[in-house]
Structure 1
Amino acid sequence: MLHSFRLLLVCLTFHVIGAADLLIPPQIIKPPFPWNPATAGQSRTVYVQALGDALTYRWQRCDPLTGQWSAIAGATMNMYSIPPLQASQHGVKYRCVVANGLGEVASTPALFSVSNSRGLTPPLITWQSPPPTVIPPATAQFAVAVGYGSNPLSFRWQSAPVGGRFSDVPGATDPLLSVTVPDLAMNGRQYRCVVANSAGSAISAPTTLTVSANGPAISGPVLPTTATFPPVFVNTWPAFMSNSVGQLSILAADALAVPAPTFRWQLRRPGTTTWIDLPNETRKSLVGQPLTSADHGSAWRCIATNPLGSVTTVPMMIAVNDGGGYKPLVLTQPVGRTTSVDSTVQFIASAVGWPAAQHRWQLAAPGSNAFTDLPGATAQTLSLVASADRNGARVRCVFSNAKGSTISEPATLTIR
């Protein structure tokens, strides 16, 4: 009996992904929540949401005493569960470094305040003014802001000559210190503030006064040398926060200004673009009514004003969980792109939802309002060939989960 055999040769090609294959550098679209109160013994979880190709994650911790950042062994996911916090960790910070072959970016830090067994929180200085440079005679200003700390708080400013010890400045018991500078003899003098309450104390970093005969020569923002300055927010906001039905939305905006600022809160209803003033909400904190499902997608912001100007926080969008999750909310809208014919362009869109949102990109031909699905386009990044017949086409992303669907704004492709 004759047997025939066939030899099948299979060639396998392996390709190692390198920087040249990556199209999207890392971009953090949702950093950790910046302000995180906790009680000693409690655990917390921090996470980031990022865009980009082949991303890696590295979590770091900043020691509250040394101010030094160090890597956390094994913390290489976009989420990190913090071990039970101790009172000695009051002021600890966590951040995530997101990287790929095109670069890396660090998230804004998540700051934790830790209250003691009596429920009291020591002061935590979250901002201090940059070192001033003045031409005598002048007035130099120093200021601190306390993000956390049980009331009542006391402030005590101290100063030290060059090479000398710190001693109290008589009568300096406010968050803002104004110092008269008559001549060059005060050059190099340092100032710091001791903030205290019944739970403990905190000392600001020493700030050096520069007195110049030739005028200021420093870069970056500085406080004016007069006794007034416009508002500046000294805490940061995330773009998104989730809560459950029935919970209160509690927001706080901390601004420093001289004269002291007034506060105004505004609300943007879901599906609208108009901001509405909230009557009688004139404090730096806002406690809203218990949330309902109708509040899903609302946004809040705060405006701080004094005679020299005003500043507005970034809007914070609220997701409301009804117990079974929540419908997707768009965080990043796609942006129109201009490119040359037959090149490849990328559009990016992102959303949050629970369960996690699925992506579905759609395309409308030039001059048409009819959007149709793009086969296989189910990632947060869309790569599209800019063929000549697509000049003026629009793309959008549909985000879906078990709770419903949300559609992004359209973005237009322009071909030169």
Structure 2
Amino acid sequence: MKRFVGVLAALLGAALITGCGGGGDAAPPPVVGAAGGTVSGPAGAQVVVPAGALAQPTAVAVAQSASGAPALPGGLVTLGAVFAFTPHGTNFALPATMTVPFDPAALPAGRTPTLFKTDANGAWQALSGASVNAGSISAPVTSFSWAVVGLLPPSITQQPASASVSEPDTATFSVTALGTPPFTYQWQRSDDGGANWDDIAGATARSYTTGATSVAADDGDRYRVVITNPDGSTTSSAATLRVNAVAVAPAITTQPQDTSVAQGATATFSCTASGTAPAYQWQRSNDATNWTDIPGATNASYTTPATQAADDGSRYRCRASNTAGSVFSAGALLTVTVPGTIAPARLAAGGGFSIVALADGTLRAWGADGTGQLGTGAGDQSRSLPGAGPALSGVVALAAGSAHALALRGDGSVAGWGYNGFGQIGNGNNQTQASPAESTWIDAGTPRAFADAVGICAGTLHSLVLRAGGEVRAMGTNADGQLGDGSNTDRLRGVAVSGITSATAVACGGNHSLALLADGSVRAWGANDDGQLGDGSRTARNTPVAVSGLANVVAIAVGTRHSLALRSDGSVWAWGSNLNGKLGDGSDTARLVPTATLLTSGIVAIAAGSDNSAAVRNDGALFTVGINEVGELGIGALTPGFSATWRRAQASNVVAVGIARGGGLSHLLAQRSDGSVLTWGWNGDGELGRGPNPPFEENPGVVGGLNLN
């Protein structure tokens, strides 16, 4: 009560000041209290507030003003000015009566005007319950805002929304419009994408519900509504109806397949299912019994991250599901192959001859025998078809030089035959051996036969033997330090390579050697005129030096004047001579340190020869690079004459490969997973094992009568 008296006194005081020469200032708005009252404005606009509508005295004003008002609805034809009833937002406990004037002359004959008012959200709305008088409209209101009289064709404030249902469910479309009532509605349908529309009989309400739907009859149809009032018509936008077929439970139609990849490569599994829109979820198991969802693996195909050795033996399956059910595929096995482990050296290509070990450890040989390199006894027994080889058994690995060969047997012994002018067979003399002779090593001045050998290699005129403890013994010519014993003295028996105690593999080149150590690093020694030692120099070394920048190596191979390394990620690195592009890095530039080739993943075996390199991929594909003078690339053509980029040879399912090394033309051997042997390249001495003609062959072909399995 005190607040009311204060407000009233203030208003009366202001009125007195105005009446005493206030300079024509506008009178303050009248105050309406609990007793109610009428407040008038320009042109007959007014508001009548009933008793009890206001909880406290309020200064009420009615002005002809659109200042601050929201924009008028599009299409609205006003019949008078906009009026502001203030204070905006005042709420009444009982409806007040708002009267807004308009110009009757602006009203078309036969039309009924509508009173529009803004709501609390600033949107214009048509007031219901209005009464039209001569030149004004009155309507009950519960709050103050802007108001105007006008004519408005229907203005759609909520368009029909597209719907998706499963047959035979119904679909409902609705619309909301603003404008001068009354509204009439007519829904329409189009079955040709909206090109043509037909009225739907009886669909004359604000909402329309279809009958039972079907995919064949209703999917893709469109719906819209035409809304009419006394001021005109408006057509809504079109809504699309999607009808889904009744869900059919999924069934696996394509099973994921077992996959084998090299360590570091990815593996992809695929699965497809029939049924209605199946969703996929891939799972993994390490024991084929317990399965775990793979986060994010929700497509029909799943590609693993880079594989690790621990992934070997894991299994993968997919679950296909929808609202009608779910089903699991079979589990697919993942085999992870560690690069460098799948290529047993049971075949060897020498200078003009070839030799292989059968599964029972006996040998077959063919080609030139001028210096006993076939190992079958006295006299030249050269031949162009496979025949019995040296009289040995239990052979598990072979190595061939320019005119000599070595065999490693399962009992750890080593035997050699062929040209022995520098003691490269290691039997204590330099006499040619037409039959196998025991290779030996010096132990505190005493010759001993090898009994713990686990690896061998044969260079042009020297040989290496890897012992079980990681020590390496070397014999033969040593003019370039290729024996690695710190001297340049030829050796007729195996001497220790200086400082090598943890080797896991050895490789012999023309006049240089490599050893792979257990820590994945590589050591090199011997000739280095083309950088084949990989230490960044061209200086020959008679003791091992570290190959620069190499780590995680799992296999090595050596050509006449170049070297290769295979890393655990399946990539191939090369260095040394790059004549004819044999390093495979896309150039013909010699490299003094290891350089990445164009084979960056998936490789599991490598080989090197005079002017070629070869690599086996984890899927059995064979890639070659270098000279192609006599078809060495195995691509079925002699063009190009050489390639500095790797070419895919016409050979599949390859598990091992060998390349002849020397100063002449080369031939290649490849073992396939079925045990068959392929040959191609130079055949001047019958080294392809496919008969004396032609002198060379660019197409890999099977050697008849041989199977290494």
TM over 0.5: no
- TM-score when scaled to structure 1? 0.29
What's the TM-score once normalised by structure 2's chain length?
Answer: 0.18
Q: Which of structures 1 and 2 has the larger relative contact order (alpha carbons within 8 angstroms, sep 6+)? A: 1
